[in-house]
């Protein structure tokens, strides 16, 4: 949910990776999952199943509160999805996201506009039919939760985001999060990170259809320093994994990694572990000592219990800084780690622009925890919209930077391969944009694509960096990877069907500045050369990701990632989706591009009220999912 505070916008060189053979031959899937009708995880509309308290979900005893009631009809925003398949029973799939469904749960102002003062929280979306349908809920402990489970949440903040999920091998589900807002309403941003635990109500021997169902606790892993406006120490960009290998020394361990940003500048990757099923976590260990601008941690566990943490950073090569994927390895269940190594360098992709000198100030109150335009892109803006969020190029686009995700096969103790996917700029695709927009730097654009690389973390031997699916048209972004039973599964957003594609323009933007649907989700498996095979389009409907749904309806935000997971022969992917968004007319501007449905009245002083109909579909950003190859 939080803006990326230290993106890497410097030009860098794509690695001339040593061309070693791929470390483990990957068998083609014997029974890949076949995409079906897309399923909606976020049922925040009527008529639907709505949202249900976890207490009711487990006990059957009716309970509701203003947040649950609002979430059942809000048609609100959700992004940054995660989803995991239960390795004991693949009929059980759990999803999560940044869920804004309760934001308008607290009445209206004097002008009749609903007040955006409710919580942004972690969703909990449960399927017991293999992902065909989901019951939507919230992780207990949100502001206003008075259910009997609320007291089990030992956290101290009024908002949460960056949801990450993991199953262990005994029916426990773990949900990680960052959190920030002060419940008392001050500008303090706490910057805590925490982990929630769900268990089978009948214990580890209970019917597996009830695995991960009952919320047991949430505990703080690391605290920030509660400074105003993201200053001080702020923990963010979370990652989680649980060991379900046959290694008796490590099985059941839960691993958690995150970025720590400090107000004075800089960031580092920290790591913590739980050896008691999420009851408590160790003091966090620093994994980065010589890296700069560090974030996007991820965790891979091999079948012998080896733990590899990967991240994106800036490193020095000669006298220059370049972007790189780095990693550190633990052979003792996360107790200690090797010094960090560089896996590959790359030329980053970072959408950026220059704020418009004519951008007007916002003329109505912003949404709670609105997405902020970053000030550390070369041009000063990392996302662009209307009014106060307008950019000099007049394009409208969501922020996105190169990230890396990693995974390994826990089912095979003899396989020591870790797979990493990332979405940098394609070498040689650099073009002059003719505007202030850029992806390499202001005025220079490029094509973005998904690449893969594999490494043996025990020896450091690695493959070359491989473009998984060469396309002359379109960007590939937000990749994820999951490895199960010798098969490598990948998923990404793809704009090959963007009718206005150009490396010189943002996704979904035409030369005349109009906007078009531009993104589909594709899934595939990787062959032994790390090339995509068995590719399938998962989305039934393409998305326009450039709706102005944030910061008082002035700027788009798509989150920072999509998700794929595979277990017990089932592979499932989730994504942010805009098929239900209702277009409209923002009366504060004559430029209707990106406008969503809203209702405002102009006041006698020329200003406008807040949106009086935020539940009418203009904010209907959702999470959808489907089976994937």
8 A C-beta contact, residue 345 and residue 15 = yes
Q: Which two tokens stand for residue 514?
A: 């109009």
What integer pLDDT is reported at residue 25 of this predicted model?
37
Inter-CA distances, 331 with 13, 100, 416, Å:
32, 40, 12
C-alpha span between 496 and 334 (Å, rounded): 41
Q: In the predicted model, what is the mean pLDDT of residues 452-469? A: 98
Find out whether 211 and 169 touch, Cβ atoms under 8 Å: no
pLDDT of residue 392: 96
C-alpha torsion angle, residues 214, 219, 221, 226 (rounded to 10): 130
Query: What does the pLDDT read at residue 288?
Result: 95
- pLDDT band at residue 22 under the 50/70/90 scheme: very low
Cα first-last separation, the chain: 28
- Select the more confidently predicted residue: 229 or 320: 320
Query: For position 1, what pLDDT does the model report?
Result: 43
70-98 pLDDT, tens per residue? 999 999 999 999 999 999 999 999 999 99
DSSP string, 559-577: -S--EEEEETTEEEEEEEE
- Predicted pLDDT at 20: 37
For 344-383, write each residue's pLDDT tens digit: 999 999 999 999 987 754 444 444 433 333 334 566 889 9
SS3 assignment, position 491 = strand
Average pLDDT over residues 291-316: 94
Tens of pLDDT, residue by residue over 194-242, are 999 999 999 999 999 999 999 999 999 999 887 776 677 888 899 999 9
Q: For the chain, which residues make up each domain, given as ranges?
A: 39-627
Helix or strand run (H / E) with residue 466: strand 466-467
pLDDT of residue 196: 98
Topology (CATH) of 39-627: Neuraminidase (2.120.10)
Contact (CB, 8 A) for 498 and 424: no
What would the pLDDT profile of 91-150 be if each residue is shown by its tens digit?
999 999 999 999 999 999 999 999 999 999 999 999 999 999 999 999 999 999 999 999
Residue 16 pLDDT class (50, 70, 90 cuts) = very low
Q: What is the pLDDT of residue 379?
A: 67
Residue 381's pLDDT is: 87
pLDDT at 263: 73
148-174 residue pLDDT tens:
999 999 998 889 999 999 999 999 999
Q: Are strands 254-262 and 214-222 parallel, antiparallel or unpaired?
A: unpaired
State the Cα–Cα distance between residues 291 and 136, nearest whole angstrom: 40
């Amino acid at each position: 949910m939080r803006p990326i505070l230290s993106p890497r916008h410097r030009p860098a060189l794509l690695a001339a990776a040593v061309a070693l053979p791929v470390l483990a031959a990957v068998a083609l899937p014997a029974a890949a999952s076949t995409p079906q009708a897309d399923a909606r995880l976020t049922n925040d509309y009527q008529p639907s199943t709505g949202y249900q308290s976890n207490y009711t979900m487990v006990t059957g005893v009716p309970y509701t509160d203003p947040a649950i009631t609002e979430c059942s009809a809000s048609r609100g925003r959700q992004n940054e999805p995660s989803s995991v398949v239960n390795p004991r029973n693949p009929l059980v799939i759990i999803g999560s996201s940044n869920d804004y469904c309760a934001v308008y749960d607290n009445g209206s102002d004097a002008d009749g506009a609903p007040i955006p003062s409710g919580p942004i929280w972690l969703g909990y979306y449960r399927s017991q039919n293999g992902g065909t349908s989901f019951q939507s809920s919230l992780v207990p402990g949100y502001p206003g939760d008075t259910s009997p489970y609320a007291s089990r949440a030992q956290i101290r903040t009024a908002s949460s985001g960056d949801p990450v999920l993991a199953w262990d091998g005994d029916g426990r589900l773990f949900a990680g999060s960052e959190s920030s807002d002060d419940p008392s309403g001050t500008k303090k941003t706490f910057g805590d990170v925490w982990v929630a635990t769900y268990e089978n109500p009948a214990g580890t021997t209970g019917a597996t259809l009830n695995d991960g169902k009952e919320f047991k606790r949430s505990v703080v892993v690391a605290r920030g320093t509660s400074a105003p406006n993201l200053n001080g120490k702020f923990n963010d960009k979370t990652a989680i994994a649980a060991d379900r290998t046959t290694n008796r020394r490590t099985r059941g361990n839960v691993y958690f990694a995150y970025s720590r940003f400090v107000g004075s500048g800089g960031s580092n990757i920290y790591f913590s572990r739980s050896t008691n099923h999420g009851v408590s976590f160790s003091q966090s260990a620093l994994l980065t000592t010589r890296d700069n601008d560090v974030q996007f941690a991820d965790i891979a566990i091999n079948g012998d219990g080896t733990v590899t943490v990967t991240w994106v950073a800036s490193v020095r090569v000669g006298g220059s800084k370049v972007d790189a994927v780095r990693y550190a390895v633990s052979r003792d269940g996360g107790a200690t780690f090797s010094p960090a190594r560089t896996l590959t360098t790359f030329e980053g992709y970072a959408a950026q622009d220059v704020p418009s000198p004519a951008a007007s100030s916002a003329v109505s109150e912003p949404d709670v925890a609105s997405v902020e335009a970053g000030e550390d892109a070369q041009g000063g803006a990392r996302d662009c919209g209307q009014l106060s969020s307008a950019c000099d190029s007049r394009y409208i686009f969501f922020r996105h930077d190169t990230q890396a995700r990693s995974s390994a096969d826990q089912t095979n103790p003899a396989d020591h391969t870790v797979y990493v996917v990332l979405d940098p700029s394609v070498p040689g695709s650099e073009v002059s944009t003719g505007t202030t927009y850029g992806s390499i730097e202001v005025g220079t654009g490029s094509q973005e694509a998904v690449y893969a690389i594999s490494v043996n973390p025990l020896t450091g031997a690695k493959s070359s960096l491989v473009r998984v699916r060469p396309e002359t048209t379109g960007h590939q972004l937000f990749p994820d990877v999951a490895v199960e039973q010798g098969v490598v599964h990948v998923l990404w957003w793809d704009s090959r069907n963007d009718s206005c594609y150009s490396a010189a323009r943002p996704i979904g933007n035409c030369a005349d500045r109009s906007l078009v649907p531009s993104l589909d989700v594709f899934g595939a498996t990787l062959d032994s050369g790390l090339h995509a095979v068995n590719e399938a389009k998962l989305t039934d409907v393409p998305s326009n990701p450039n709706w102005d749904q944030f910061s008082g309806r002035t700027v788009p935000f798509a989150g920072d990632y999509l998700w794929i997971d595979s277990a017990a022969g089932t592979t499932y992917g989730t994504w942010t989706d805009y098929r239900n968004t209702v277009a409209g007319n923002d009366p504060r501007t004559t430029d209707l591009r990106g406008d969503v449905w809203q209702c405002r009245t102009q006041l006698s002083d020329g200003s406008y009220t807040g949106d009086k109909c935020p539940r009418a579909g203009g904010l209907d950003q959702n999470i959808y999912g489907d089976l994937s190859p």
